[in-house]
Amino acid sequence: MNDTFKGQLGSYRILKTEDNSETVYSEFFDEACHNLSGAYAETVHNYIRGCSIPDCFARNRNFSVLDVGFGVGVGLKALLDELENHPEFTHHLSYYSIELDEELFLWSAHATLPELKFIRKTESDLIYFECVTDKTILKVFIGDGRTTLPLARALGHLLPLDAIFQDPFSPKKNPALWTVEWFTFLKDSSQPTVQLSTYSSSISIRKSLRESGWTIINARGFALKKTMTKANLLGETAPELIDQLNRSPSKAILDMDIS
C-alpha cells in the first residue's frame, strides 16, 4: 500500500515494511517512523526486548511505560500484545506517550488500534487522549513533550516510570528530545530500576545520557543496525565505552544548541 494523508505537520506517506506492518514517512521531519525492515519487529527488538518488558510483567507489579513519540502506535500495540501473552500479570499497566501532531495520533489510533476508545480531555493547558480498560490506563499527551510531560507530571498524571521507549525521530532531525535537559527530566520522572532503550547509538546522545546521570550499555541493533543503546540508573558504564566516548570530539546535546 502506498498512500498519503495530511496531518497538522504536513503530509504522511504510508509505507508497508518488510514484516507487513505499516509505518509512515513524515514530510515535516523528513524521516520514516520505523526501520523499513519491519516496523513491528523493530519495535519488539528495540523496546519490548530492549526494556525487558517480559521480565517486568513476570515480576507482576504495577508497571508504567513512557513511549517517546506515539507515531503510528506500534509501540503501544506491541506492548498490549506482550501483555496478552502474560495473563499471569494481574496488576495494572500505565502507558504514557507524547505526540506533536494530533491529526497523526487520530489517524494512527484508528489504523493501528481500532479496538481502543480514546476520549479527548483537557485539564489546565494539557490536552490528552485517555483510554481506560480493566488492566490498563493509556494517556497520550498532545503537543510538544518538553512542555506537556512536565505539566502532566505536575498535574499528577505520571506515575514514576519503569520503562522508557526513547523513540523520537533521529537526533539529527529532532535534537530537542535528545538533550541533557530532556534525559534529566526523564531520570527525575523514573523509578531507580527504570530501563530506557533506544535505536540510536550516536555518540552525542550517549554523552547526553551520561551527562544527565544515566549508565549506558551498548546493545545489538535491529536488522542491519549494528548497535543501539540501553540505559539505566543503577550499574556502571563499561570502561571501554567511556574511553570510546572520551576519544570522540562529538558533544552532548544541550537545549541551548537547538534553534
Applying CB under 6 A, among 43, 46, 94, 200 the residue interacting with ligand SAM is 43
Applying CB under 6 A, among 51, 72, 79, 113 the residue interacting with ligand SAM is 72
Residues in the interface with ligand SAM (CB under 6 A) total 24
Nearest to ligand SAM of 38, 73 (CB atom): 73
Phi–psi pair at 155, nearest 5 degrees: -85, 5
| Residue 75 in contact with ligand SAM, rule: CB under 6 A | yes
Smallest separation, CB 168 to ligand SAM (Å):
5
Selected range binding ligand SAM among 58-66, 169-177, 183-191, 227-235, rule: CB under 6 A: 169-177
Report the alpha-carbon distance of residue 238 to residue 226 in Å, rounded.
Answer: 18
What's the burial of 87, exposed, middle or buried (CB within 10 Å: 0-12/13-18/19+)? exposed
| Residue 145 in contact with ligand SAM, rule: CB under 6 A | yes
Selected range binding ligand SAM among 73-81, 128-136, 203-211, 215-223, rule: CB under 6 A: 73-81
Q: Which three cell numbers stand for residue 245?
A: 566516548
Contact 72, 51 (CB under 8 A): no
Applying CB under 6 A, among 38, 45, 56, 99 the residue interacting with ligand SAM is 99
How far is residue 47 from each of residues 103, 227, 259, measured CA to CA in Å? 25, 14, 29
Category of 213 on φ-ψ map: left (φ > 0), alpha (ψ -120 to 50) or beta: left
Selected range binding ligand SAM among 85-93, 122-130, 138-146, 238-246, rule: CB under 6 A: 138-146
